[in-house]
Amino acid sequence: MPEPTISIVTPVYNGASLILRAIESLHRQTHSDWELLAVDDASTDASTALLEEATASDARIRVFRHRLNRGQSAARNTALDHARGEWIAYLDPNDEFYPDHLARAWEWRDKGDVLVFRYDQVIDAAAGPGFGSVVRYDPAARYDRMFTETIAAPLGVVHRRALLDRVGRFNEAMGRHPGEHEEGDLWRRFARAGATFTFVPAASGRSHARGDSPSQTRPARPDTPVVTGLPPAVSYEGRVESAPRESADGLPIPVGPNVALAPPQGTRPRVLFASYHCHFDPSSGATLSTRDLFHQLTARGWACAVATGPQLDNPNATPIGTVLATRPGLRRVDGRTGDLSFAVYDVPEDGFPATVFAPDPPAARRPPGPDEVRAFHDVVSRVAADFRPDVVLTYGGDPASTGVAAIGRRIGARVAFRLHNFAYSDTRAFAGCDAVIVPSEFSRSFHRSALGIECVVLPSVVDPNRVGADRPGGGKYVTFVNPEPAKGVFWFARIAEVLGRTRPDIPFLVVEGRGGSNWLDQCGIDLNGASIHLMSNTSDPRRFYRVTRVALVPSVWRESFGRVAVEAMLNGIPVIASDRGSLPEIVGTGRACLAIPAHITPETRVPPAAAEVGEWVSAIVRLWDDPAEYVRVSAAERTWHPGVVVPKWEKFLSEIAADL
């Protein structure tokens, strides 16, 4: 039998409920030149019988058995001892490959010694939080932590078999106790031996997380305290735990998909985001912008950290303190000041540490009182003293947030205020800041006129990994997000009504946000003839972009950026937007940016006449019927791609830090 090109290593211990799904994912591979080396590590369930059936039906599957249970590392090593392929891939029983994974690995074989892929984690524990959710993990966001963390689970790694002859196999003394990661140990030995690591911009497959899952699927974070010492005003039971301070020396910035691990070169400023507004708020555009920015910066070797409060935009949302209190595995310390009790959580975030302040009683949206302000400032001061940022980013007009600037100045950092909206009537919130950042030229002109300040324009970062969706068939809906008056729900309702009469074949998707579908009922328009489908509020925009053919942004508010428009364009979806605020700047010339009469404002509660929306109806019909027009309007728009936007942020952060 000729030698296969890729050998797949599968350790099995009591995996009868999982192994057939893993093997079936191999049978679906478009690259068929593989062998599976499954090692039964003395299972006591039906694993042995299932593996014997599999090898009887497919000669590419070879099964080995340990008489005694020796552990996952030993099982993998047994498979590696018998591997014949030029390349090695790993498939644990709770994993499954995507059909093109091995083909893509073979395609990239000349671009590195170790190919590192993204992968998706599916929460299969029905009784646990997040059941059914899918989270994309990108090891490239942690590549600079190769020598301190396990940056990728085996599902995300394909490497040359020859490397094992140089560095040995998995350390069988590791992996039997929490905190020991034999996979990371092997990856580090590869790197020290001079192997080139290439981060492939594609996902290898899915890892199904269960309470009884037989293998690790996500890298753990190191256990190091971030703060010590107790001031008299605020007391803690134990220590506030978070991620450690790390060297500011980053690894070389990736060029394209290739990242070669090498000795540290250059120094980048350390960046801390601190605000009473919650960094994990799924309904806040400001929050999403900061998270996307930090994910992109850490992927380029920047050291970032977060100290955040509990404030959410949606007052009806579940308080962050309630969410975190029920999430297993988080480190927590309780504190008290005055009459206030609170908790401080260390929340894992891809690529950077986040510390969350959660006062009692939990509330989604409550103005911080003096005790909340005092305790939050203490937490931020401790995180800042340990992390030692060069630049502090902040926003928010509440007293807890506005005090962040003084904390930053006290430790010698530069402070930049991110001005996301038009809610500020004076400059007190950002007094003492070294810079005020706005996301658009429109916003800069507005604040120059309204407040007499000069702002720095830095567009919001939108991470394609968060919003990018596969769109089989090109989508099927005209999608409208966040149905509320300011976002143009009355304008949308009239458009839907007209097309319901004239083009009932054009369906609409309404995605709830801060505004709910009840606003459609309040528009006073008969929508029975329109084909309108509803989607409840979701933290995963890929759900609706996957089925979107045209994005409608009929905002009647002076938008400071237009996040939905940018997300749609990054997906190659044509956008029809209003001419309010920065939308003409965001959507750009040559695209569908249409006027809405000035008399229609966020306070308007009367729907427009059918004639007023005629141009919008025509634009939708053209995109629906004319393939050439669709291609023209949906042509790839790189203006807002992170590859264009993030370097602007890097330049600003480097320059403002250089003024220290």
Q: Dump the DSSP string for 153-187.
A: -GGGEEEETHHHHHH-S--TTSSSSTT--HHHHHH
The tokens describing 443, both together, are 């916003």
- What is the predicted pLDDT for the residue at 126? 46
* pLDDT reading at 356 higher than 80: yes
pLDDT tier at 268, thresholds 50, 70, 90: confident
Tokens of 295: 């994910």
When pLDDT is cut at 50, 70 and 90, the band that residue 299 belongs to is confident
Nearest in space to 305 (alpha carbons), one of 271, 332, 281 = 271
Q: What are the two backbone dihedrals, phi and then psi, of residue 419, each rounded to the nearest 5 degrees?
A: -100, 95
Q: Which pLDDT value is given to residue 125?
A: 54
Helix (H) or strand (E) holding 643: helix 642-658
Closest CA to 348 of 436, 454, 219: 219
Q: Provide the b/e sequence for 223-259 (b: ≥16 CB within 10 Å).
A: eebbbeeeeeebebeebbbbbeebebebbbebeeeeb
| pLDDT above 60: residue 94 | yes
Q: Is the pLDDT of residue 535 over 60?
A: yes
Query: Which residues are registered as beta bridge partners of 347?
Result: 354
516 pLDDT above the threshold of 70: yes
Confidence of residue 245 (pLDDT cuts 50, 70, 90): very low
CATH class of the domain defined by 464-639: alpha beta
Whether residue 443 has pLDDT greater than 70:
yes
589 pLDDT band, cuts 50/70/90, is low
Task: Tell me how crowded residue 166 is: count the other CB atoms within 10 A of its CB.
Answer: 13
- The domain defined by 6-209 folds into Spore Coat Polysaccharide Biosynthesis Protein SpsA; Chain A (3.90.550)
**Mean per-residue pLDDT for 535-541?**
89
Per-residue model confidence (pLDDT) at position 121: 86
pLDDT, residue 189, reads: 87
What is the pLDDT averaged over residues 54-65? 94
pLDDT of residue 638: 63
Q: Which amino acid is at 522?
A: Q
Higher-pLDDT residue of 279, 241: 279
- Contact predicate 512/539, CB 8 Å: no
Read off the amino acid at residue 212.
Answer: D
- 3-state class (DSSP) for residue 271: strand
3-state helix, strand and coil shares in percent for the chain, rounded to the nearest 5: 35, 25, 45
pLDDT at 208 over 90: no
Distance between CA atoms of residues 329 and 43, nearest Å: 28
Instruction: Summarize the confidence of residues 242-254 as an average pLDDT.
Output: 27
**pLDDT tier, 205 (very low <50, low <70, confident <90, very high otherwise):** very high
Q: Does residue 246 have a pLDDT over 80?
A: no
The answer to whether 278 and 311 are in contact (CB under 8 A) is yes
In single-letter form, the type of residue at position 93 comes to: P
Q: Is 517 helix (H, G, I), strand (E, B) or coil?
A: coil
Structure tokens of 554?
């009929």
> What whole-number distance in Å separates Cα of residue 327 and Cα of residue 655?
40
- The answer to whether residue 75 scores a pLDDT higher than 80 is yes
pLDDT value, residue 122: 85
Q: Which one is predicted more confidently, 593 or 145?
A: 593
pLDDT value for 256: 28
pLDDT of residue 259: 31
pTM, entire model: 0.62
Write out the two tokens for 99.
Answer: 């059909």
**pLDDT tier at 521 (50, 70, 90 boundaries)?**
very high
* pLDDT band per the 50, 70, 90 thresholds, residue 566: very high
489-502 and 614-625 helices, crossing angle to 10°: 60
Residue 249 has pLDDT above 80, yes or no: no
Between 41-55, 113-127, 422-436, the lowest mean confidence (pLDDT) is in: 113-127
Q: How high is the pLDDT of residue 252? A: 26
Q: What is the largest CA-CA distance in the chain?
A: 80
CA angle 55, 61, 67 (to 5 degrees): 75
pLDDT range class, residue 641, cuts 50, 70, 90: confident
Which of 42-56, 178-192, 398-412, 608-622 shows the lowest per-residue confidence on average (mean pLDDT)? 178-192
| Better-scored residue on pLDDT, 134 or 382 | 382
Predicted pLDDT at 646: 93
Q: What is the mean pLDDT of residues 168-187?
A: 73
Is residue 286 a contact partner of residue 420, using CB atoms and an 8 Å limit?
yes
Residue ranges of alpha helices (H) inside 300-432 are 320-325, 370-387, 399-402, 404-410
* Residue in the block written with tokens 């290593």: 9
Q: Are 306 and 355 in contact (CB under 8 A)?
A: yes
Nearest Cα neighbor of 576 from 597, 591, 561 is 591
CA distance 262 to 252: 7
Select the CATH number that applies to the domain covering 264-457 from these four: 3.30.56.10, 3.40.50.720, 1.25.40.10, 3.40.50.2000. Answer: 3.40.50.2000
As separate numbers, helices (DSSP H) first and strands (DSSP E) second, the chain gives 21, 27
Q: Which of 23-37, 87-101, 334-348, 400-414 has the lowest mean pLDDT?
A: 334-348
Q: How far apart are CA 80 and CA 96, in angstroms?
A: 20
Give the C-alpha distances (Å, rounded to integers) separating 591 from 110, 560, 581. 41, 19, 16
Q: What angle do CA 245, 305, 397 make, to 5 degrees?
A: 140
Indicate whether 180 pLDDT > 80.
Answer: no
pLDDT of the residue at 68: 86
Percent of the chain at pLDDT > 90 equals: 59
Residues of the chain with CATH 3.40.50.2000: 264-457, 464-639
The per-residue pLDDT of the chain, averaged, comes to: 85
Provide the angle, in degrees to the nearest 10, between the axes of the packed helices 285-299 and 642-658. Answer: 80
Give the integer Cα–Cα distance in Å for 460 and 418.
10
54: phi then psi, degrees, rounded to nearest 5: -65, -45
| Entry field: residues in the chain | 660
As a dihedral over the C-alpha atoms of residue 222, residue 125, residue 20, residue 158, rounded to 10 degrees, the angle is: -20
